[in-house]
Each structure stands twice: as structure tokens, then as C-alpha cells.
Amino acid sequence: MHEFTKFYIDGQWVDPETPRTLEVINPATEDACGIISIGSAADVDKAVAAARKAFETYGYSSREERIAVLEACIASYQKRYDDMAAAISEEMGAPKTLAVQAQAALGIGHLTEALKVLKDFEFEEDLGAHRVFKEPIGVCGLITPWNWPVNQIGCKVAPALAVGCTMILKPSEVAPLSAYIWTEIMHDAGVPAGVFNLVNGDGPGVGTALSSHPDVDMMSFTGSTRAGTLVAQNAAPTVKRVAQELGGKSPNIILDDADLEAAVTRGVLHMYQNTGQSCNAPSRMLIPRAKLEQAEEIAKGVTAGVVVGDPQDEATTMGPVVSELQFNKIQGLIEKGIEEGAKLVVGGPGRPEGIDKGYFIRPTVFSNVTNEMTIAREEIFGPVLAMIPYDTEEEALRIANDTPYGLAGYVQSGDIEHARKVASRIRAGNVHINGATGGFDVPFGGFKQSGNGREWGAHGFTDFLEIKAVEGYAA
């Protein structure tokens, strides 16, 4: 049982202003694996004051000083890598191999990329006799989710540290253990007091206090679109910048000239990665109508090879969803798909056979889905794939863009020029051709209700910077 009942403020572990605790549940066992404190507006006030004070010096630190901070953070992270992977697996159910090879790797990856970008980033630009400066925006509130916990912490904290911002992190209270490991990494690295602060809590208690605080200059939020709109509303009276990475219902267009078996296999496996708990999951697979039955058989065969079970078992390829709340939501949406007339190809309601405890979902594929069905409109955030037939390429593009979201899109084709043409017409922030994935330098973010702003790499620096023009600088 992990006991993380203190907050990290101004370089010290401190007790909350008002004692209140919450159990952290291991989703594979349904047993408590930790206990944390739930903060309040008073804790936020203390953390913001510390960050505001620290900005007076860190905001004017040199590039070389910030390079040293990032280098120390990377070295500190490497020492705690295994602890980070273990915490992620325990708190949100990621299979051990996924936690080690992907989840934990993303945290150090963002630190390393931020260091690389910082070394050559242009913070000044001359326009004739005038100079334009890119300066740190100030005190930042960071709210992160539970599905890729350290990824989202890393892609916010790393650029904020790199450009000279100070910050207060509120991780998800559902999966907060990795955030504590991250905070210990920051402390051991010698990040200056007040630059990085941690306050745990829920949205109404800490999230609202942070996003509405007059001394917070910028909010960076990752989570549901519903919660993101609340952050923006709370931030509006103080006219602070709000960067958001929100939900998705991403289309995966399999074109008629694609290798069907490879494309469907890739799409199904991607859908099941992280138990479907990814905002950019390819949850709507668009297939030429004449090939739908063949695609169903391929999907059924791929699903048969998925091993659902204990995240600590090396053979497991899919763990549980994160909580009872998510389990019940997903079960309800699977039932809704059946009720609305979609064809159940594989999976369905209930836990997988032989499992009677834990928030495990049967990997599920629906076919003959129309884009008006609930399972094609709502973000399920579980291992549930909707196969949607189409008759023409124009229809496929219409269906692909008929969503309030625009985070990601996927195109499968045997002809790269064909794929490029279709990709150019998908209204999404990230479009992947034939399974390609970008590195840490490729910007990540969405169109429409999937958010605004971009994270990762040099583009991820932008939201943490203000632009100052000094006219007559060279006169």
C-alpha cells in the first residue's frame, strides 16, 4: 500500500491544509493499492504563490541553466525508470510489457526531446531595427489524465521547464502514483524550489481553483471534452491562455487498394492497445462494403489472439480498464450497440471467460455500424471497434469528418499518392498513413472539439511562450 498523503510545494513535502484522503484502486484486483490526499483551494493558493515567487528568478534563467535542469531530470528519471513502469501498471492496469516499453518510455522521451529542442531554439528574432522575444508565459496549471499518465505529465512539464515557466501539476486522482514518482524525480534532480509543484485532488476542488486562479497565467489540460470546456469557462474571467488536448473518435479509412489483411490487423491491434484507452484510438474503421465480410473474419481472428488478464503476466497483451466507472460506461455502450442494431462480430457484454474480478472488458468488434449509432458518435474509451461500410471514397470522407472531434485520422492504401490525397481531406490534427507514427518531434493535438494548441517537440514550446516586440531595439 502506497501512502502519498503529502503535496509537493516550494521544494518541500507538506501536509494538506484540510486532511481528506482517497484510496487508489488497482483495476486488475479491485483492491486498494494506495492512498492519497485530496487538496483544496487553500492548497492551490500555496502552490501558486510558490510558483509565482520562483518565476521571478527561473523565468529569467539562462538557456544553460535550464539545460542543466533538464539533464539532471533525465539522469534522475533513468534511476527510477523501473519504479515508474511498476507504478503505471499498478494504478491503471497497463500490461507490464506496455508499461515498460511504452508508457514509462514516453516520460523520459519528452524530457530528452525538450533538451534537444532547447539547445537550438530561437528565443529572439530581428525584424529590421526591431527585435521579437519569445518569453516564458509565467505560472502554468497542468491537469493530466490517467490513461497515459506520465506521457501527459512529460509533454507538459518538459517544455515548461525548458522555456522558463513555473508550474503546478494536478494529476488524475484515479491514477496518481506515477505523478508522485515523477515528483520525486524532479526533487532528486534539484529542480529549483517552487518551479515544480504537485497538488492532488479532484476537478471541482483543485482543478477549478487552479484554472480560475488570477495568478495562474496559462492552463494546459488533457482529458475529456466535457471537462475541458469547464476548464476554459473557469479560465475565461482572467483571460488566461488555455491549451487543450481532448477527446476523439478517429476514423480509419481502409481504401479499396489497401492490403486488407494487413490494414485490418493493424487497425484492430491499435484499437486494443492500452485497452482502447487512447484519445487517438482508430475507433471507427471504414471499409469498402464489398470487403466487409472479409474484414470481419480478419478482425475476429486478430481478436482471438488477444490475451486479456493479469497485467503482471508477461503473456498478457490487454489489461483492465482503469475503474469501475469506466467499466460500467463501456458495458452500457456495448449494450447500446446491440440495441441499436449493429452486428456483433466478436466480444460483447460482460467480462472475458474465466475472469470474475477486475475491470476487464471483452475485446469487441461491431460491424454494419452506421455513423448515426451511439457507438459511432461517442468516445467509448475501451476496446470496442465500430466497422462502418462505405460505397464510395467521397462517402468515406464524409463519414470520416462527420464527428465533433478531430484528433486523429488513419488512411490505409497501396498507393502512397492516393493515401496522401485522402489524408489531405481528413479534418484532424494527426493523420497516419499505413500505420506510420511520428517521433517526439512531431506535433500532437486536434481540430474542432478535440482541443487547441499542440504538444510534443518544438511545437510544444509555443503554448508556454509569450511574444514581446521591442521596437527600435537596434536604434
Q: Which residue has cell 481504401?
A: 255
- Report the b/e string of 33-55 with b at 16+ CB within 10 A: bbebbbbbbebbebbbbbbbebb
Q: Cell numbers for 344, please give them.
A: 456483433
206 Cα distance to chain centroid:
20
Among residues 473, 452, 455, 472, the alpha carbon closest in space to that of 464 is found at 455
- Per the CB < 8 A criterion, the answer to whether 103 and 273 are in contact is no
Q: Cell numbers for 332, please give them.
A: 452500457
**Sign of the dihedral defined by the CA atoms of residues 9, 13, 14, 20, in that order:** positive
Taken as a whole, the chain contains a residue count of 475
Number of CB atoms found within 10 A of residue 242's CB: 22
- The residue type of 74 is I
The residue annotated as part of the active site, out of 113, 173, 245, 296, is: 245
3-state secondary structure of 419: helix
- Per the CB < 8 A criterion, the answer to whether 359 and 327 are in contact is yes
Decide if 279 is catalytic: yes
- Per the CB < 8 A criterion, the answer to whether 144 and 169 are in contact is yes
Task: State the number of CA atoms in the 13 A half-sphere of 137 facing the CB.
Answer: 23
Number of CB atoms found within 10 A of residue 391's CB: 10
> What does R_g of the chain's alpha carbons equal in angstroms?
23
Distances (CA, A) of 381 to 85, 247, 322, 328: 22, 9, 10, 12
Q: What is the DSSP string of 328-374?
A: HHHHHHHHHHHHTT-EEEE--SSPPTT--SSS----EEEES--TTSH
Q: What is the DSSP string of 153-215?
A: HHHHHHHHHHHT-EEEEE--SSS-HHHHHHHHHHHHTTPPTTTEEE----IIIIIHHHHT-TT
3-state secondary structure of 55: helix
- Per the CB < 8 A criterion, the answer to whether 139 and 55 are in contact is yes
- Per the CB < 8 A criterion, the answer to whether 208 and 39 are in contact is no
The residue annotated as part of the active site, out of 155, 173, 279, 379, is: 279
Q: Cell numbers for 61, please give them.
A: 534563467
**Residues identified as active-site:** 245, 279
